[in-house]
Amino acid sequence: MTIQQIDVAYTAVATAENGRDGRVSTDDGKLDVVVNPPKEMGGSGAGTNPEQLFAAGYSACFQGALGVVARQEKADVSGSTVTASVGIGRTEAGGFGLEVAITATIPNVDRATARSLIEKAHQVCPYSSATRGNIKVELTAA
């Protein structure tokens, strides 16, 4: 596989303290959150967790990609939403892995058009590009 080369326009910087049971903050101070493992994984569930942060980033990024594709296709995606569900669990090798389910609701287009837009957004979304071939990503037009 060839490593994708990019012309970097922006770099986000975040620092974690104490891993999954601590704090994560960005260098500009715009994000500063307590992170704790969810109760389902033996944690307190008191703070957010890396999977929630990943789901938030992926859904926002995918929504942006959907907008780019919609402008190219002259489709109306106003009022649309994108939900990312990120699952974490044990792999066959004994480590941990992720899987993602993306659900997009696009009220102003028919189901076939929605499906086409979602597939095209999946090709241009940077999160989708980063995960392609690495983890299961399921796409649904709601």
pLDDT of 9-50, one tens digit each?
Answer: 999 999 999 999 999 999 999 999 999 999 999 999 999 999
Burial of 111 (0-12, 13-18, 19+ CB in 10 A): exposed
Mean pLDDT of 133-141: 96
Residue pLDDT, tens place only, 40-98: 999 999 999 999 999 999 999 999 999 999 999 999 999 999 999 999 999 999 999 99
The CATH classification number of 1-48 equals 2.20.25.10
Every domain of the chain and the residues it spans: 1-48, 50-141
Residue 24, pLDDT score:
98
- Strand segments, DSSP code E, in the chain are 14-17, 22-26, 32-35, 81-90, 96-105, 136-141
CATH 3.30.460.10 is right for the domain spanning 50-141: no
* Residue 1, pLDDT above cutoff 80: no
Question: pTM (2 decimals)?
Answer: 0.94
